[in-house]
Chains A and B, each alone.
Chain A
């Protein structure tokens, strides 16, 4: 009751939650494309690389306005992706190595600039460090407006270029052959992903931003094979974790927002991996058990069929060991075969006589013969 009261009355909390929710939606939508293009670690690199941009923007302009700092972050984020792509394209160095190098070198550059700013007289650098870990509580209404405006532009662009983004994400060669300008489309998508990362820096910080980009999309991917549903779900998961993380961290004392958001979204990922229909691990396990059982039943029925075919007396029934000679050797072998025979009986494929001996029924024979016929076809 207290919590609900707090949410309804606390103005700061409302602002911060709104900001986190918007952030979750934006990174959820654009993260879907990054995940499909197997570029989720790019988010990590871009967010780390944003640090020198933030410091330089402050050093040059002397203001701590969010939009100025974010512009600096955007430029150095774009420069880093340009370098990463250039290195992996023009040398034998792999994409992941280029990513790791640029990420840490840029971050180091950011530290150098931050320590330099500390020495500049009259420059109060306090507040720049919040970008390393993020500090949702410093998000102001003004910042939320910026997030909302940028977010609206990004989402409208996604809608406008939906077809193009979809095709370059799944099959870029095909897109090229259809005459799409893949270079321009990829660059636009890239720039949009980078922008969405930059938007989140203030709230979750450079280190955890990659999770905001990856996790909602990975969770959403488990529930569907359709891109538009995945994008919507991903936005939803992003929003839920944004709001959830903000509220939990404001209710519990000394709980940082960014990490809390990451923990919630990671929980959603784990639940999705386990429970999502069809793809989920639990479903996969159940399906395996079911398949194994039906293969086992088919085997027993086939054995009964062979006994029936090779036996002179058609109505003759057999004991368990005759049906499966290995049953004595296997652990619980007899129990298993008994159970399989009972299950088959429910389907009407077998019958047992008073001596606990089993035979195949007419419909069982029909099933086996159909089965073999299908196999031949």
Chain B
């Protein structure tokens, strides 16, 4: 508590601490049982032999040249993807933040679609664009699916929105008068931007870059589909070691390795985020944008639109086109064949269309879980002070970077005995998906909760509202919209979750991404077309969730 704070100062009494611990209890229990325990179990299974820890294995695995190659590839492709994403998306952030043009809302929505798309769909879309028999192959005989470019471009596609939302959201709220003040003091346009705007944006750019690095470092679905036999990230390698070679010791070491790398990244992220919360002069975003002026701004706008069209819209358009391009010309052949199990040549025991129902039911349950647990966690984290809070904050981010494959497999081997025998329960899939959704809920709700002025609650108290009533009357309406947005995110993420679900979804009730991956794993025209059709359906479901979400978008953008 700072002594200079004369108006807002309040001691955290024992009751306040008790309340906060109470709020944390549920999320902590959830993370303990469904995250820490399964991950620990799988690591223990891999590194223990006859009750003895076998740490020598760590050295063996780490010195394996194959693993070294995987680690090197994982790191450099993440760095390259991040650099490429920043290069292409920062102009987009500027255009969406500072320029005003017809169709801007639509562009903002279009740019966000890829982020909530399942990685499997992204993989199939780029396969349809760059792969064997893809658009480029047909037109010019160019195939990129055997090169690293397919992976990098897909990563840019996926993460474009992260940069635009994180950096652009802040950029739009920076007071342009700050730059004007610098201009009046004699700074050139460039100098004003470099000395005033850039320092204010730097933490946001750093935070966005770290998030992109994190997402691409742990990339699974995209690399699994586009990487072929040559390219594997740590996550893909963990999957292969676990599911194909049944080599648990190696998988356990790799899990720990990824865990350590992600923890380090999150630590850096937490620091940049804290710096970002330093006081900036923020204004209403709707007042900072202007019509483009001069050739340079029009050219910038045009180039951003071109990038969006080529990189974001074209792959999805090709995906949709392929899904209709049946053996007898354009039609709904692939869609119709999805309706029966027989039409898939034994890939499925049920009709693939049933996967839609499964996916929706799982995603709804996972969303409910994520919103309740993430909401409680955000409420506990509202007040910044204390090491306890910061530690809890970091803990909540961990599932973002931990191998989803490990979590999925961990569920199978850890939650298989009473009292937690959930192997055959349907709840297993939503639980795993909620784990990934919670960090997004926290990141979306927390900034809004923190932005609620304490004195609004005080104003309510002075007018006769009890603390609980004040929370209901003041906080809840303000946070309600953020909660809705968070729910939309959690829903889209649950729909697209692949790494963990692929392990725990039962063969007779696959989710959409799992079904797509299974179809893509089979040779032939029909499964390929069916995969495109199913991906299109999945994309539509996600896009609808996103459109609903854009409707209730809060003025204050969350951290994603």
Partners in one complex: no
User: Which residues of B are in contact with A by a Cβ distance under 8 Å?
Assistant: none
User: Which residues of A are in contact with B by a Cβ distance under 8 Å?
Assistant: none
